[in-house]
Structure 1
Amino acid sequence: MSTALAAAAPAVSGPHLAYVSRSAHFEIIANVDPHISLRMLNYFAQRDLVPSVFRSRRVREKLEMRVVVPGLSEHDASVIADKMRGQFAVAAVTLEMVVGA
């Protein structure tokens, strides 16, 4: 009986995966600088993207930022993260791709 059910189930192919909800989650740690938040957001503005979440908080002499951008491909998110890491005030950038959230 399970064989018949497996045969009746439609196969999932590549094009259908384009509709899966995914988002890029960036965690950024930077030195306190009055312009660093704008520099980080500018990477998304250049691509005409608006993050769904942007949070920034100061912890002693560091800024901790979190940016979530829905619908961003893993390749594009990786390129943006690498550019962020190149900023002089940025200490660390981590990127997590979340599917279905």
Structure 2
Amino acid sequence: MFKPSRIAMTDAAPSRPDAWNGNAPPTLANYRIVAEAEPDVLCRVLNHFAQQFLTPQRVSVTQQDSLLFIEVHQGELSSHRAGVIAAKLRGLVSVYSVALEDADASLKAPY
């Protein structure tokens, strides 16, 4: 007979070391994405975070007509890694624009 086991929950998921810039202080990256309202767009956007073993702190999605307005807040990223993820998001066919800024407003990249 199958007995479910209890999984211990921790306060924080293990973070992946940043090989691109290990000495840079982590920042909170805010992504603002405008994409075509298709059923698979949200999964494709979030997959870029999952591939880096990252769980966003907050995700917000609003649909207006044929567009999705997606906001993703991700902590514990170097500026370089945040930029790489933004560039990959811009490569998605259904994504029209990606704006990236950090919580300190020191990284501005209106795209």
Q: Is the shorter-chain TM-score for this pair beyond 0.5, marking a shared fold?
A: yes
In the alignment, which of 77, 82, 97 is matched to residue 77 of structure 1? 82
Highest CA radius of gyration, 1 or 2?
A: 1
1:53 correspondence with 2:58: yes
Q: Quote the offset at 1:76 in angstroms.
A: 0.5
- The amino acid that maps onto 1:65 is I
User: Structure 1 unaligned runs (5+)?
Assistant: 1-14
Give the root-mean-square deviation of aligned CA atoms: 1.4
Could you tell me which residue of structure 2 aligns to residue 10 of structure 1?
none
Say which structure, 1 or 2, has more relative contact order (CA 8 Å, 6+ apart).
1
**Equivalences for residues 3-14 of structure 1 within 5 A:** none
Paired with 2:32 and 2:75, the residues of 1 have a C-alpha distance of 15
User: Structure 2 unaligned runs (5+)?
Assistant: 1-22, 105-111
Q: Quote the offset at 1:60 in angstroms.
A: 1.0
CA contact (8 A) 2:27 2:79 kept: no
Could you tell me which residue of structure 2 aligns to residue 40 of structure 1?
45
1:53-99: CA deviation from partner (whole Å, max 9, x where unpaired): 00111011100000000111110010010111111100000000113
Could you tell me which residue of structure 1 aligns to residue 13 of structure 2?
none
1:89 correspondence with 2:94: yes
Could you tell me which residue of structure 2 aligns to residue 22 of structure 1?
27
Percentage identity across paired residues of the two chains: 34
Paired with 1:49 and 1:56, the residues of 2 have a C-alpha distance of 18
Q: SS of the residue aligned with 1:49?
A: coil
Aligned residues: 82
Q: Quote the offset at 1:42 in angstroms.
A: 0.5
Runs of 4+ displaced beyond 6 Å? none
Paired with 1:22 and 1:83, the residues of 2 have a C-alpha distance of 19
Q: Quote the offset at 1:22 in angstroms.
A: 2.3
TM score, norm. by length of structure 1: 0.76
